[in-house]
Amino acid sequence: MNEKHMVTQSNKLIEARHVKTLSAREQKIVLTMVSMIQPDDKDFKEYSISIHEFSEMLGLKGHAKYEEIKEVALRLQEKTLFIPDEKGFITTNWVASQRYIEGEGMIELSFSPYLKPYLLQLKTAFTSYRLSNILSLKSGYTIRLYELMKKWQHLGRWECSVDSLREKMGATSKAYSLYGNFKNKILLPSVEELNEHTDLFVGYKEIKKGRKVEKIEFSIQHSAEKEIRLPQSKQEPEQPKNEEVRERLNSLANGYQFDNMYFSQLYQGALVIFSDQAELELERLIRYVNEEKTVKNPLGFIKSKITSAWEIHEAGGRITFADLQPVKERWAGREEKLPDWFTSKDEPTEPSESNPELDKEKEKLLKKLAEKKKRTTKDASTS
């Protein structure tokens, strides 16, 4: 299994409602298949999974692992999901067929053709993450929560009604109809496992109407140091950290890629400005560029905004790309306005603290301007 494999899905697929909840093992098989899809694939293929390799990752031992994984794959053909679209929703299964290859310990699986718009040739509105981050999770509910958190990671927060969250996580059993049961059996354990075993750190607070909890507001942070890694083969030398970050960000970039030299300079600057949030801020900027249709030169645009951010940082200010929203077409003909700091290189709008040296320079400049104005006025009066 290649730890570099990325799982990339349409956001509509992330938001899909599972009629029959997928177990953790079922989800891992599906997501392993998804990670085998290449960005330029125009059609699905038959995806081969080594039972020996896969069972080792799942911690299965003995001959029973072959039969168990075959049963898991078979059950996937019965699992139905509802995918929202413009007209309502589409109902389909994950797996259309499976083939067990005798003597080779391989299973070949094929996706339902109805999933093509949600897994192939994705250009906008998609979510990506490294496959290795979900392979250690024990609960299928945690995997679903992780995907939802990844979708909203670029904003740093997400608010969802309790009823909708139950559906999205697949916790639709009557046993979880009471919020207390859902919280104690599903939500709390999932958040704890996610925080302990993935590259995210998630917090949440309850939003009540009267005494009833109606919504959950999540806070989402990426922790690069928690990124899960599978053991590397002896033939593959370990890549430098910068290269790993470049690979992750390149997987998000739409129609462009960061080469080594360009990214090295860009990332070093981002590290100085944003410290441990550098990758997250670059990810937010990339997602903005992917959706903003007016950007014609993505690499030049990103570099110019990091340069602007550097100047604001040097002036003692703090900025974040979390507030950026692409211009949306609206019936009323209005456009969303970008934050002033994003389009201007003037003083930061949110200084972190007073800078004595800058204050002195500013005072000198004001005095010079005042003296110049007096001389100009005097000259005008004597002429």
Which DSSP state fits 87? S
Q: What is the pLDDT of residue 149?
A: 94
Q: What is the pLDDT of residue 58?
A: 65
Whole-number Å distance between alpha carbons of 269 and 335: 31
Cβ burial 231-260 (10 Å sphere, 16+ → b, else e)? eeeeeeeeeeeeebbbebbebbbeeeebee
Is residue 320 a contact partner of residue 275, using CB atoms and an 8 Å limit? no
Q: What is the pLDDT of residue 366?
A: 64
Q: What is the pLDDT of residue 353?
A: 46
Query: CA geometry: angle at 175 spanning 170 and 178, to 5°?
Result: 95
* 3-state DSSP assignment of residue 110: strand
- Two tokens, residue 220: 């989402």
Q: Which residue has the higher pLDDT, 148 or 40?
A: 148
The C-alpha R_g of the chain, in whole angstroms, comes to 26
Whole-number Å distance between alpha carbons of 111 and 98: 9
Give the rounded percent of residues in the chain with a pLDDT score beyond 70: 75
Task: Bin 275: left if φ > 0, else alpha if -120 < ψ < 50, else beta.
Answer: left
Is residue 29 a contact partner of residue 72, using CB atoms and an 8 Å limit? yes
pTM exceeds 0.85 for this model: no
